[in-house]
Each structure stands twice: as structure tokens, then as C-alpha cells.
Structure 1
Amino acid sequence: MKRGAGQLMACLAGVLAAALVLAGCAGGPVGGDGEDRPVVLTTFTVLQDIGQNVAGDHLAVESITKTGAEIHGYEPTPKDIAKASDADLILDNGLNLELWFEQFVESVDVPHVVVSEGVEVLDITGDAYAGKPNPHAWMSPVNVQIYVDNMVDAFSDLDPEHAADFEANGEAYKEELQGIQDDLVTELQTLPENQRALVTCEGAFSYLARDAGLSEHYIWPVNAEQQATPQQIAGVIETVETQDVPAVFCESTVSDKPMQQVVDATDARFGGTLYVDSLSEADGPVPTYLDLVRYDADTIVAGLTGDGS
């Protein structure tokens, strides 16, 4: 986080006070399209899209953060908290991703579900993060099938009349997720074992790498203000050279300059930009979660196999 804990708590307290005023002036919950449907509020756009696929037309699923937002260090506004107060259900990822969200979730009388519940959690590697969970569980299509099950249960509790529809939507969506997972694993099996390595700027792909049979390597473990020390870059250069890694990648919400240094110092090529924390606008490359995970899978395969060169 960009601020100290004391500053953040004081800031959120002020935000909450202002939000209560806004919430008192607001009407009842309505979807963003003006229809009177139960409102499900998510913390970021990836969860919103997954949730809307499960909900179909029965619920309005909205996101606090906008497309392109950096989720880790987001700072909530009074309008965000007022929106949370008016929701019928709140979904968040958990695993310490939305620490900025925890205080005001506890301050509103709205049912709350953590969609990563039941995922086999991986810890962030590195002494500074010992014992802390890697929050990017949604980057694995296998894990997102668990997210979907949790959403089906939560939506069915919220709107029992449409529980069968939520179940059917969830099953269809999980089939698409499994298809992407199967294609990724099959295509990566053509690589020599030492080259089955995913090298990125942030360590956001631990779950995807585990489930796709890749080793994971990165410059920094978690996005922060101070990134890419010379020692971190040197470590990645050594890994790329030792394992003869054919391509390296970086994420859309950070600068790829540190990774370009790795490219300049090795025989690896820059394999492309990967998407993690946010969807793109409707006319962008990843307007939905399925687009995101399919795009990342295709980019990784093309980079590592050389099909994209």
C-alpha cells in the first residue's frame, strides 16, 4: 500500500463518514441499467464479468474499480462505500488482495462472500512475504471453476427462484474454462521441459503456472512503488540464460522496461503483454475474463513455442 496503516485507517474513517451521508440520500438498489434487480457488487472487473456470466439477466453485477485499474493499491471513495451500502451482496477475491476494502465491508450490513474460498492457496515466495498468500488465484481456469461454484451458491441464496438458472450458467461457464485449460496444457507439452518456464515482471502467475506445468520466475513478487532492483533483474537474467528460456513477458498495468533489460542481456525475446488485474474496455483485447485467460494462454504458448515470432 502507498500509505502507512495509520494514515489509511484515518482516511477510511473519513471516507466512511462521508459515505453514510451519501447512502442516506440514495434510493434503493437498482442495476446500472435502471432495472430493479438485486445488485451484486464486486471489487474488480474480472469478478464482475465472471459473476455476470453466472447471474445471467437475473442480477445486476457491478464493479467498484474500473477497467485498467491497479487493484492492489486502490483507495476507495465515499461513492464506493455508499454503493456498497446499497448492494444486496458483496463479492471479493480475498487472499489479502483487497485490504483497502476490508474496513468498509465490515461497516455495512450487506451479505459478503469471498469467492476464492476452497482454492488450494499458494504463498508468495520471498523472505519479505513469508506466509502471505498469493492473491492471484483467478489466473488459473481451474481455480475460477471454484469461484463459479461459490458464486452459484451465493446467488442462489440471494435469489432462490433462479437457482436452477445460476447452476446451469455456472456449468456452461466451467466447461469453457476447462477447454482453455486443456488447450494450454496440451500445447505446452511440446516444449522441452527446461523451457517450460514462465518469466514475468510480477509473480502473478503462480496458480496458472502450477496448473499448466510451468515453472514460475519473476522480477518482483508483488507490484509496489519501488520495483526492479538490479539484483532482481540479474537473477532473472541468470534464470533465462541457464534454462534457455525462449521468451519473457510483462503485465499490462506496469512498465515493461525492466523486462526489456532482460531481453537485451539474453537471447530471449519479449513474448508480449499479459493481463491480470483488470479487463480492457469493450473494444480492447480482453473485454471479458474468458478473453483475458484465453489471450494470456495464447500469448504464453506463442512466445514459448516460437509460433508468434
Structure 2
Amino acid sequence: IYVDNIRDALIKYDPANAQTYQRNADTYKAKITQTLAPLRKQITELPENQRWMVTSEGAFSYLARDLGLKELYLWPINADQQGTPQQVRKVVDIVKKNHIPAVFSESTISDKPARQVARETGAHYGGVLYVDSLSTENGQVPTYIDLLKVTTSTLV
């Protein structure tokens, strides 16, 4: 949707280059699809009861939805309280009940609550996911495609 919105805005203000914007948008959307394809395939091979995305912050709703995963998180996006004992206990109980194999955290917050859930449940701490923060040009995720690649490889 974002790619289409950007394309449409550029075409609105520069209609003479509409074909270029359309071609570039199509190419970029194909890169996104290609980047996510291995993850989608691996998810379809999982039993449905193991298709979970457990994170600290509820920042991956779009990705969980697009990949057909059930989402579980310790706290909602921009919550006043993060990683409270009540939040951790609730997620620990659900992870145990559903035998969820892995827990993740986000790059912009502490990984301590997610690691605590993993410790208390025996789930694997899967690592850091990047949600809304790119790195510097020489960092791990300088572009959105890089962000998707790192997130995909971490989830897999």
C-alpha cells in the first residue's frame, strides 16, 4: 500500500514521469514479494498451532496478518507501561499453554522482557526484529528491503 501511495503522489505532482514511477513501484513490490517468499513458504509448512509471532511490543500486526500468524505481545504499541509483571505473566501463560517455540523482541526496546518470557517457558529467544527503524548506511538495515531480509531470517 505504501509503495502504491508513494507512486500515486509522485505521479500526481509529476505526471510526465508516470511510467517511470509505475515501473519503479512494480519493481520494488516484486522485491518485497521475493524477499518474503521463503518465509511464507516455511510458515505454510508449520502446523497451524505453531504459527505464532510473540514479541515485546504489538508492532508487528501487519506482518503477522500478512503471514497468517497469530500475534501475541507483552504490551500494545506506545503503551505507558512496558514489561510489567502482569504483562509478562499473561504472555508466559499463553506461550506455555500453546507450546509456542520462540519469542522475539524489537530493535527499539529492551530485550529483557522477551528473554524473561523465553526463560520462564522454555521457548527459544529468537532475536531482534526490526519494525520501524532503519540503521545508518553501513548498518544492518539501511533500507526497507534490508529490514525485511533481516526480519525474515530472524523469524525463520
TM-score (norm 1): 0.49
What is the 5 A alignment of 1:80-229?
146-229=1-84
Q: Which runs of 4+ in 1 moved over 6 A?
A: none
Residue 206 of structure 1: how far off its partner (Å): 1.0
Any idea what the Cα deviations from partners look like across 1:21-58, whole Å, max 9, x if unmatched?
xxxxxxxxxxxxxxxxxxxxxxxxxxxxxxxxxxxxxx
Q: Is contact 2:40-2:67 (8 Å) kept?
A: yes
Partner secondary structure for residue 189 of structure 1 = helix
Distance 2:16 2:66 in 1: 36
1:277 aligns with 2:129: no
The answer for the alignment partner of 1:254 in structure 2 is 109
More helix by share: 2
Cα RMSD between the aligned structures? 1.2
User: Could you list the runs of 5+ residues in structure 2 that have no partner in the other structure?
Assistant: none
Instruction: Look up the equivalent residue of 2:61 and give its one-letter code.
Output: S
Instruction: Look up the equivalent residue of 1:230 and give its one-letter code.
Output: P
Distance 1:148 1:262 in 2: 36
Residue 296 of structure 1: how far off its partner (Å): 0.6
Residue 247 of structure 1: how far off its partner (Å): 1.0
Q: Is contact 2:36-2:148 (8 Å) kept?
A: no
Distance 2:13 2:88 in 1: 48
1:236 aligns with 2:52: no
Residue 225 of structure 1: how far off its partner (Å): 4.6
Instruction: Look up the equivalent residue of 2:53 and give its one-letter code.
Output: L
Distance 1:235 1:294 in 2: 31
Instruction: Look up the equivalent residue of 1:270 and give its one-letter code.
Output: Y
Q: Percent identity?
A: 52
Q: Is contact 2:52-2:72 (8 Å) kept?
A: yes
Instruction: Look up the equivalent residue of 2:2 and give its one-letter code.
Output: Y
Partner secondary structure for residue 45 of structure 2 = coil
Any idea what the Cα deviations from partners look like across 1:142-193, whole Å, max 9, x if unmatched?
xxxx211111111011122221111110011111112223322111122222
Distance 1:286 1:225 in 2: 28
Give the aligned length: 156
Residue 226 of structure 1: how far off its partner (Å): 2.6
The structure whose RCO (Cα within 8 Å, separation 6+) is larger is 2
Distance 1:240 1:192 in 2: 16
